[in-house]
Amino acid sequence: MKKFLMMLIAVALFVPAIASAQINWYGQLDIMGSMDRWQGNTNFADEYSYTNSRLFVGANFGLEENIEANVALMYKGSWGDNYLAGQQANNTSDTGLLSKTVLAEANIVFKNLFDNDRLTLKVGKFYYGEKGDAIFYVGLRDISKWGRAYSDPTNIYYNGMDAGMDGAQLTYDDKEKLKVDLVYSKMINENNTSIGSKVNLMILNAKYKINDNICVKGYVYDSETTGYQVFSSGNRMETIGVKPMVKFGALTASGEIAQQYASAQSKMFDETFDDAILTKLNASYQFDLTGMTLTPRVQYLRAGNNFWSDTSDANFGLITGTYWWWWGIYNLESMNIGADWSKGKYSASLDIYKNGNASGSNYWYEYDLVGKYAYTKDIEFYAGYAYLTYENNSSNWETRGIMGVNWKFGSK
């Protein structure tokens, strides 16, 4: 009932403006089937299959000059999330369509703030971050990263990180060299029924373009909680980091290093634990061949034993990177060699991962192959297969096969 009232209020706020405004619809439909198998210490392999679906539909429209609004709803559903292949999930607690529908976006954007075309203010519920970011991303993640029980409406992980966050974002953008974001968000409200605690977040994020080939990003995250810890430990946490990025012709590379601080007394930059550092290195080179491209790439990612973030969107494998296997990022060292190939409507990616604990122990190897077909510029079919085995026990393995479709439509 509360969710229905939220949607009703959002509609009531914007309906008068919608009647006279030009509406730009945007959205995304994802449907993906997955079969997960693994062999443990017995002669039998467990096999779970399920299909996840997600429909995201939004509308962007002008309210007045330099003022616009965004409203979006998201539906999520699972078939077979009781792990039994071909059987309907247990829907005894399902109260209908609204039980799996969330308000994903509802915000107003004020441009040309204080008569300065470099300033923009966004207020309400919104997404923030860059897809694939190692520390912070709240947005529509690849559906392949979601596992079983994806549609559980009470799960804070599946809703809190896939739908938008409540707050405000002030942006300075000179459109040439400097862009700075100041964000405040109540990521999790203390009245939620899942964890019963609040998480308040402040973000200062700056990006400076030195020239056409080099830019540098710097950021500070400050989080305070009464219980559930999105970052690090204690009642208060800070993450400070820097990320230089370069592009010279076909070569693209970046490096990132971040340090976390924590406090049990809610003090800023109070103390840091041993090995509370994140390090990330990426490089790729695109070869333009006759009618096709080939892009070899490498990645090194390490989150120390005392570094973690539940909002990470880092990728370290089709199996390992799922949120049932390894939620967020913590105590991890990942080395990846891969290549992307594309020709016309067809593309494929091959990846080899060596993942393990940050201490450099308990390694496991994962091999991924994903193929894609662009049916149109907006509709894409894909299929993939992954195999994982452990360094110290090669008879203990896991596999995952996926097949799905992604349709993106409209734009803001």
Question: pLDDT tens digit string along 1-46?
Answer: 444 445 555 555 555 555 556 899 999 999 999 988 887 655 556 7
The residues near 5 (Cβ < 8 Å, ≥ 6 apart) are none
Q: What is the spatial distance between Cα 288 and Cα 292, in angstroms, rounded to a whole number?
A: 6
What pTM value is reported for the model? 0.85
- CB-CB contact of 303 with 332 (8 Å): yes
Residue 193, pLDDT score: 45
Percentage of the chain beyond pLDDT 90 is: 53
Residue 49, pLDDT score: 81
pLDDT at 124 over 90: yes
pLDDT at 148 over 50: yes
pLDDT at 81 over 90: no
Q: What is the spatial distance between Cα 259 and Cα 11, in angstroms, rounded to a whole number?
A: 42
**Where are the extended beta strands (E) located within 111-250?**
119-126, 128-129, 137-138, 165-173, 178-188, 199-209, 214-225, 236-248
Q: Work out the average pLDDT over 223-241.
A: 79
Query: Hey, is 264 helix, strand or coil?
Result: coil
CATH number of 110-121+133-410: 2.40.160.100
Q: What is the spatial distance between Cα 375 and Cα 188, in angstroms, rounded to a whole number?
A: 39
Residue 13, pLDDT score: 53
Question: pLDDT tens digit string along 298-309?
Answer: 999 999 988 988
Residue 31, exposed/middle/buried by CB under 10 A (0-12, 13-18, 19+)? middle
Query: Hey, is 12 helix, strand or coil?
Result: helix
